[in-house]
Structure 1
Amino acid sequence: MISPRDMSLRACALGFDARSYTALQLFFRGKCGDKAVLVGEDDADVSIVDMDSFNGAKIFAEQRERHPGRPLILLSLNPPAEIPSGVIYIKKPVQIQSMLTALEQTAARLRAKAEPKAPTGKIHRDVESPAKPSVDAAPKPADASPASARPASPAIGFASREDRDTSHAALSLDERGFGDYIGSLKDIDPSNPMEVTAAQYDPKRYFQGYLQSACKTALTKNCALRLNTGWKPVTIFPQSREIWVDADDQQLRSFCLVPVHSIAELGFSESDSGIMTISSASASAVKFKDEGRDHSKLQRMDALIWKVALWTSAGRVPDDIDLNRPVYLRNWPNFTRLLVFPHALRIAALLSEQPRSLLNIAETLNIRQQYVFAFFSAARALGLADQAVRQSESLIAPLPVESKKDAGLFKKILQRLLRR
């Protein structure tokens, strides 16, 4: 239940992408005065669900059954048709006071549920007794709704480092979260042409291809450029390697999944052809950025391209890649700035040793092909990976992963990653 020392609610965030999860963490630490902290499902007092996420409604339904006694807070642009008793709804964008009120109501509900039926004047401090959780001396929130509440779902995919989950639990949650993040793609039979085709895509037919091209042009010319999508403004600032896009991650993800030729048909594009164009950014746009306004919409160039490639690929690979030929990793991705998904470190570690085919990587690590395909698509979008073109790269089959007692420190680290 509620921590007896600092009275911080332990909340589990479900259905949030990496950026939104981080924003919620910062929101709790700053604006909410540490009234709540993000933890894993098993340690949570309350669950917060993003109903606008890819799998929001399903998560909500599952968690009602999984944790019937736990309070639940729903975030959405539009209110649900029906708000069950004990569930708190907050309209997006979340206002500070709305979240504070929801947290206070939840804390009051939990305290009311935890109080003994015949309380005495003595304040209980026995935190070891689950039947009588401690009551803090801090004043109780005034508003307390009925005690029936909703379940919490696993801290989907992007658990905070402060979470108390074990590494095994965190990995399984990450895998589930990653599926919600980009969708699910079954392993393919490489001998079946139809399945191979289904696992491929052409980045140039999507926003990803235009974004990569615009970034390359901006870096070459070293001047701010505007990518005219016919949808939302996208401004590229090469000197700081940042991109300003007037959309949240969920909107951007949906846009990434639509082929460019279909954008005009959907009414998003200003031109009938649906082709996006590049133009010089206006002086006002540059000034707008330099004055530091609306920094929440500024993203690092590499981090945004990485995410866009993950969303667009949905676990597929570019259609000019031969799944049976080796690919190579030119440079190790800067995972301190990028979204780290399941097995990404293991894939990078194996591929850094020698070129391998994507199918061989999945087989060697005993993981789903989708993780390997997604990693390669994102790494290639950043220019970190590509198909090996030298005949020598395909001449010798990749060596099996072996453990060597006399291996160097870096080698041992790689081997440890590969065995996880």
Structure 2
Amino acid sequence: MNTEQALKINIPGSNNTLVTIVKAFVRQRYNLVEDDQADICIIDLDAYKANSLLDEIRKQHPVRPIIGLSLNEVAHDNIVFLKKPFRPDDLTQVLDQVSLKINQPKVIVADKIVGSIHRAATAVIEKSADKNRHVAHHGVTNRSDSVHYNPAEFLQGALINAYCQSIDTGITHRMEAWWNPIIIFPKIKKVWVDADDKNLQAFCRLPLKTFARYQAHDRDVANEVKIQPEPMLNTDDCPGSLQSMDAFLWKVAWWNAGGQLPLGIEHDQLIQLKYWPNITRYLCPDHVVQMCAILYQRPVSPLQVSEVLNIEHKEVYGFISAAHALGLINSIEDQPMKSSRLSESTKPVAKRHNVGLLRRILSRINRR
């Protein structure tokens, strides 16, 4: 959307936190401007001297629409009320309602077009995924390259870059990649995004450039991923629940993989788990415990894991991609396996009463 068409918002007073939240929530739909250029005012009615500020706005701009935010129901004439806490969609909906009253139809039409394109793209993706519904829940799809994907082309790559910037500085960061903003809180190792897993999984099925071009005709603009510090944001500013940074990256990588291996890992290459992932808190479909046991015990290839467990290799590849994104995979370079079968020396040992839990799991797997 052109900035010339976007409605202009002013937030009077010195509420930097509210300014930051509005920026994150409305993104490209509206512009924040100085008082004399604004079409709409947003005021925090719970702020200090809010009533005095409201009187001043009405004197200087008697016909300008005002959106009032408050924790409690308030009665003010000619004010559109929005109860706190509010979600991005709540604020956007109120802004759309107000904008209808001030003769800016192009903005509303353009925004509806973008929303329609977004919904159409998601529908196309989900329709394609229906053909593989038995495995789509875990991100397995029918891409043309059945072996590898490039994490840098997906949300996974951008998310890792945002994590690095946020952790290095210790400052809250916001990432935008033509989707809902992702807020990263490095000090508590949490992430906030205004989307459920269904919407996140749909977004993860396409490379970022492909998804962006559903919404932007300009190829240069479509390539942009914005990562910027937001030092004024805190967890109280983000409605809804937070997620662990590791758990969020784990499922993003699993869904981005689409049943493929990340570039740099071959299907016949020896790899090993450095340590067990926290499978009690991560997205974990069937056979995760068995895969962890085999990959932690000794170096094996992805194909060997698939053969021992008698499962689709794509399920193994998805698990390896998620573990690799968290740095849990140790690659044994230049040692591909000549045979897809485990040798006698690598097969799990028989069960004995004094054998540990891990070996008992492996023994049971081997007997299947």
2:189 to 241, 257, 266: 241
Aligned-partner Cα distance in 1 for 2:364–2:277: 15
One-letter code aligned to 2:346:
L
- For 2:268, the equivalent position in structure 1 comes to 324
- For 2:226, the equivalent position in structure 1 comes to 277
1:359 aligns with 2:359: no
Aligned-partner Cα distance in 1 for 2:346–2:211: 46
CA 1:263–1:403 in 2, change beyond 3 Å: closer, same or farther?
same
- For 1:219, the equivalent position in structure 2 comes to 167
Aligned-partner Cα distance in 2 for 1:268–1:242: 30
Aligned-partner Cα distance in 1 for 2:216–2:199: 13
1:182 aligns with 2:182: no
CA contact 1:253–1:308 (8 Å) conserved in 2: yes
Deviation at 1:404, TM superposition (A): 3.9
CA 1:245–1:185 in 2, change beyond 3 Å: closer, same or farther?
closer
Aligned-partner Cα distance in 2 for 1:256–1:184: 11
- For 1:374, the equivalent position in structure 2 comes to 318
Deviation at 1:277, TM superposition (A): 2.6
Aligned-partner Cα distance in 2 for 1:269–1:280: 28
One-letter code aligned to 2:239:
D
Number of residue pairs matched by the alignment: 232
Deviation at 1:408, TM superposition (A): 2.8
Deviation at 1:309, TM superposition (A): 1.1
SS in 2 for 1:342: coil
CA 1:279–1:248 in 2, change beyond 3 Å: closer, same or farther?
same
CA 1:282–1:355 in 2, change beyond 3 Å: closer, same or farther?
same
2:247 to 303, 307, 310: 303
SS in 1 for 2:179: coil
Q: How does 1:91-170 map to 2 (within 5 A)?
A: none
SS in 2 for 1:251: helix
Aligned-partner Cα distance in 2 for 1:417–1:256: 35
- Structure 2 unpaired stretches of 5+: 1-131
CA contact 1:178–1:342 (8 Å) conserved in 2: no
CA contact 2:177–2:208 (8 Å) conserved in 1: no
CA 1:240–1:200 in 2, change beyond 3 Å: closer, same or farther?
same
CA contact 1:182–1:310 (8 Å) conserved in 2: yes
1:263 aligns with 2:208: no
Q: Which has the higher helix share?
A: 2
Deviation at 1:344, TM superposition (A): 0.6
SS in 2 for 1:250: helix
Aligned-partner Cα distance in 1 for 2:208–2:185: 23
Aligned-partner Cα distance in 2 for 1:208–1:269: 24
Aligned-partner Cα distance in 2 for 1:313–1:269: 27
Deviation at 1:279, TM superposition (A): 0.8
CA contact 2:171–2:231 (8 Å) conserved in 1: no
Aligned-partner Cα distance in 1 for 2:182–2:216: 14
C-alpha offsets along residues 166-218 of structure 1, whole Å, 9 cap, x if unaligned?
xxxxxxxxxx98624135568xxxxxxx98x3231111001111112211222
**So what's the TM-score if we normalise by structure 1?**
0.50
- The more displaced of 385-394 and 242-251 is 385-394
CA 1:366–1:392 in 2, change beyond 3 Å: closer, same or farther?
closer
- For 2:152, the equivalent position in structure 1 comes to 204
CA 1:292–1:275 in 2, change beyond 3 Å: closer, same or farther?
closer
Aligned-partner Cα distance in 1 for 2:268–2:336: 15
Aligned-partner Cα distance in 2 for 1:412–1:386: 21
Deviation at 1:383, TM superposition (A): 0.9
Please provide the CA RMSD for this pair: 3.1
Deviation at 1:409, TM superposition (A): 2.1
Aligned-partner Cα distance in 2 for 1:275–1:370: 31
- Structure 1 unpaired stretches of 5+: 1-175, 187-193
Deviation at 1:412, TM superposition (A): 3.8
One-letter code aligned to 2:184:
I
* Structure with bigger gyration radius: 2
Aligned-partner Cα distance in 1 for 2:217–2:166: 22
- For 1:408, the equivalent position in structure 2 comes to 355
Stretches (4+) displaced over 6 A: 392-396
Percent pairwise identity? 29
One-letter code aligned to 1:267:
Q
**So what's the TM-score if we normalise by structure 2?**
0.56
